[in-house]
Amino acid sequence: MRMNATPIRTLLALVSIAAVATGCVTAKPTETEAGSATAAAPAPAVSMAPAVVASVDKPDDWCDRYPDSFECEDASAKATTSDDWCARYPDSFVCKDEEVADKTTTSDDWCARYPDSFVCQEEVAAGQTSTEDWCSRYPDSFVCKAEAPVPAISAYVVQAGDHLWGISSQPKVYGDPYQWPLLFKRNRADISDADLIYPGQMIQIERDMSNAQIQEAIDHARSRGAWALGVIEGSDLRYLQAAGSTDAANATAEQAAAMIAQAGADLKAAKAAKGEWRILDSATGGSAVPLSKALKVAQKLLDGGDASEAYRLAHRVSESAQLGVAQSAGQANAAPSYN
């Protein structure tokens, strides 16, 4: 008998559909079921690297952080000062061994402030120092070269733009501008006005003067007063007279002899130029006598032991002879004038 398979197939299909529907749909939980639900279990922990055993005590100390890479100082070393680099880093600096004890220090002297860090010059005697001279200001900090002395000169040729003040200030002359009256006094025969000199003039420089003579010149320069070009100031003439008396009063026998010799040379030049003058002086009896006779009187005074009077008279003869030479030269160059 042949069985009809259609109903069986239909039944199997319905059973399959019911099984699928039952596995895919989840019923909604009741309030009781929802309240008794528990949280999901946490995910398993990830395996981590081992923790650091101990932190470094001194994170900035490379010796402690890398002991195999550096040769470090023993931790038991003595305490050091924060400003002394030699004490703080003895392996990095070559420092002086001996210590300076009980030494007063100044804030500007590096040798005194850090005696262990610098090898300094021994202390020198205190003296007046210049604020611009580092060697003088800090003799313990610098080993300085001694200044070479400037060679002095006995004569100077005037250059364009020169004046007695500037010439006197030069180190090879006097090194002090206030000593210019000494130049004026020594070259009186060639300089009529202390404020007017000319290029090419030969300025003789007087040496071996006493402190009194130098101070007299400085005092005049400081108190001279007003001046004008081409005018011989009365204060200058008074200085020359006073300076002549001072020179004569302090003259020694050697200085008097030197002045007589200078006067003799000037007189010889005056005679050659036909410019010998006559002078009036109390030492010659108050009458006008030739310069040659006045010079003989000066020699007699020196031989008699009066060096001061001999110097004074010989100085007058020297000045007069020089003025005679200058006058003769001016007359020789004179030319007729037609108005």
Last residue of a domain, one of 193, 217, 250: 250
Residue 139 counted as domain residue = no
Residues 235 and 256 in one domain: no
Q: Are 258 and 313 in contact (CB under 8 A)?
A: no
Domain co-membership, 208 together with 255:
no
Query: How many domains does the chain contain in total?
Result: 2
Same domain, 225 and 315: no
**Quick one: 263 and 233 in the same domain?**
no
Residues 227 and 298 placed together within one structural domain of the fold: no
Domain assignment of residue 27, yes or no: no
The pLDDT value given to residue 165? 94
The pLDDT, as a whole number, for residue 324 is: 84
- Residue 52, both tokens: 């650091």
| 241 and 218 fall within a common domain | yes
**256 and 234 co-located in one domain:** no
On whether residue 220 sits in a domain, the answer given is yes
Least confident segment among 74-83, 143-152, 205-214: 74-83
In angstroms, the CA 252 to CA 217 distance is: 20
pLDDT(54) > 90:
no
Do 176 and 238 sit in the same domain of this protein? yes
Query: Predicted confidence band at 38 (pLDDT cuts at 50, 70, 90)?
Result: very low
Tokens of 119: 């090898």
The parent domain of residue 202 ranges over 148-250
Residues 191 and 212 in one domain: yes
Buried b (16+ CB within 10 A) or exposed e, 168-192: bbeeebbebbbbbbbbbbbbbbbbe
- 256, 195: one domain: no
**pLDDT of 288-335, one tens digit each?**
899 999 999 999 999 999 999 999 899 889 888 888 887 887 777 666
Structure tokens at 277: 């003058």
Q: Which has more pLDDT, 138 or 298?
A: 298
Shared domain for 169 and 243, answered yes or no, is yes
Radius of gyration over every alpha carbon of the chain, rounded to an integer in angstroms? 55
Task: With respect to residue 56, please indicate whether it lies within any of the assigned structural domains.
Answer: no
List the Cα angle 166/311/302 in 5-degree steps.
Answer: 155
Mean pLDDT within 269-275: 88
Q: Taking 50 as the threshold, does the pLDDT of residue 24 lie above it?
A: no
β-partners of residue 204 are 155
Domain end point (choices 193, 216, 250)? 250
| Pairwise CA distance, residues 237 & 19, whole Å | 149
Residue 53: predicted pLDDT: 47
Average pLDDT, the chain: 74
| Residue 49: per-residue pLDDT | 47
Determine, yes or no, domain membership for 315.
yes
115 occurs within a structural domain: no
Count of beta carbons in the 10 Å neighbourhood of residue 290: 16
Structural tokens at position 275: 């410019």
Of 210, 227, 250, the position where a domain reaches its end is 250
Amino acid 16: pLDDT: 63
Within a domain: 339: no
Q: Is the pLDDT of residue 238 over 90?
A: no
Amino acid identity of 162?
D
Are 21 and 13 within 8 A, CB to CB?
A: no
Q: 176 and 233: one domain?
A: yes
* Pair 247, 302: CB distance under 8 Å: no
What is the SS3 string spanning the chain?
A: CCCCCHHHHHHHHHHHHHHHHHHHCCCCCCHHHHHCCCCCCCCCCCCCCCCCCCCCCCCCCHHHHCCCCCCCCCCCCCCCCCCCHHHHCCCCCCCCCCCCCCCCCCCCCHHHHCCCCCCCCCCCCCCCCCCCCHHHHCCCCCCCCCCCCCCCCCEEECCCCCCHHHHHHCCCCCCCHHHHHHHHHHCCCCCCCCCCCCCCCEEECCCCCCHHHHHHHHHHHHCCCCCCCCCCCHHHHHHHHHHHHHHHHCCCHHHHHHHHHHHHHHHHHHHHCCCCCEEECHHHCCCEEEHHHHHHHHHHHHHCCCHHHHHHHHHHHHHHHHHHHHHHHHHHCCCCCCC
Domain contains 313: yes
Report in angstroms the alpha-carbon separations of 49 from 52, 59, 65, 166, 280.
9, 22, 21, 89, 123
Q: By mean pLDDT, which of 64-78, 92-106, 250-264, 273-287 is the weakest?
A: 92-106
